[in-house]
Chain A
Amino acid sequence: MNFRKYLVLAGVTVFAVAGDSMLSHGMKQVGAISLHHLQSVFLAVANPWVALGILFLLGFFATYMTALSWADLTYVMPATALGYVLLALVARFVLHEHISPLRWLGIVLITAGVGFVAGGPALTEHPLGEAAKLAEKSRAAAVASGVEV
């Protein structure tokens, strides 16, 4: 794990929160979508907040995939949970909403869980076999696409 990789994990959290918030804000401007006019959901994309939200969620997906390419799923997952904490803090300090003691407890639990995972190794080192097979496969793929390894 180096600084770049922590930056990608931070990207996973921030893009998800920003995307969800913008989408939520935009959809409230668009208004309720009737079950009988489901196609109007496509018109929602015309709202700038919705469009921007989708763009940020694409950013989330790209950073999430990048993280999964070098870290275990059980390592990346808690990073996405930090988004809930970030959301609550934004609600408290930017929007000045009230946060109940039970929610503060939730924030503490998630933060503790993330701390637990972050202290351990990011990727399971597979004892020869699977890892070697994977490495061989990616080398073969690289050679096939005409790249020097």
Chain B
Amino acid sequence: MRDLYTWGAIFAIVFASVVGDVLLSHAMKQVGDVGALRRRIGLARVIARTLSNPNFFFAVASMAAAFFSLLFALSWGDVSLVAPAAASLTFIANAVAAKIFLHERVDRRRWIAASLVAAGVALLAG
């Protein structure tokens, strides 16, 4: 039963962080190249433009949800399971979500990279 709770919380972490990352990426693409914008309209306006983007707020809310899911997961399961499982699953799920929702060209190069990184994180954090 406890295992079920732990895995449920791990999936909640993965889901919330993927939603957060995808929304943040989308928001920043809407804002535009921050470096170029800063030179043109100044830092204060770039910040104002980012903060007034609704997707940015949903992204931060999702990341906060991911953080609290992590706290729950850690209270039910071992950190040596929760941290690597959540991190490596997030890498794979992010690649899938970026392809579907952000229409990024996730070619073979990036699939291989995401898989290698996910495997590496699982080994390193485990």
Binding site for B on A (CB under 8 A): 4-5, 8, 35, 64-66, 68-70, 72-78, 81, 84-85, 88, 102-103, 105-114, 116-117, 119-120, 124, 126, 130, 134, 137-138, 141-142, 145, 147
Contact = CB atoms under 8 A, between A and B. Distances in A.
Interface in B51-100: 75, 91, 94-95, 98-99
B110 to A, nearest CB: 5
Q: What 10 pairs between A and B have smallest CB-CB spacing?
A: A106-B123, A109-B120, A113-B116, A106-B124, A110-B120, A113-B117, A116-B113, A69-B28, A68-B28, A73-B25
B32 interface: yes
Contacts of B95: 74, 77
Interface of A is mostly: helix
Interface in B112-126: 112-117, 119-126
B61 to A, nearest CB: 14
A110 to B, nearest CB: 4
Given A74-B114, A84-B125, A106-B120, A147 B29 contact: no
A73 B41 contact: no
A69 B110 contact: no
Interface residues of B, number: 45
A130 B104 CA distance: 12
B123 A112 contact: no
A137 B117 contact: no
Interface of B is mostly: helix
20 contacts: A65-B28, A72-B98, A73-B22, A74-B104, A74-B106, A76-B25, A84-B120, A105-B123, A106-B119, A106-B124, A106-B126, A107-B120, A109-B119, A110-B117, A113-B115, A113-B116, A117-B109, A117-B113, A124-B103, A147-B40
A107 B24 CA distance: 28
A88 B123 CA distance: 12
Given A120-B110, A145-B45, A147-B40, A73 B104 contact: yes
A21 B124 CA distance: 16
B30 to A, nearest CB: 7
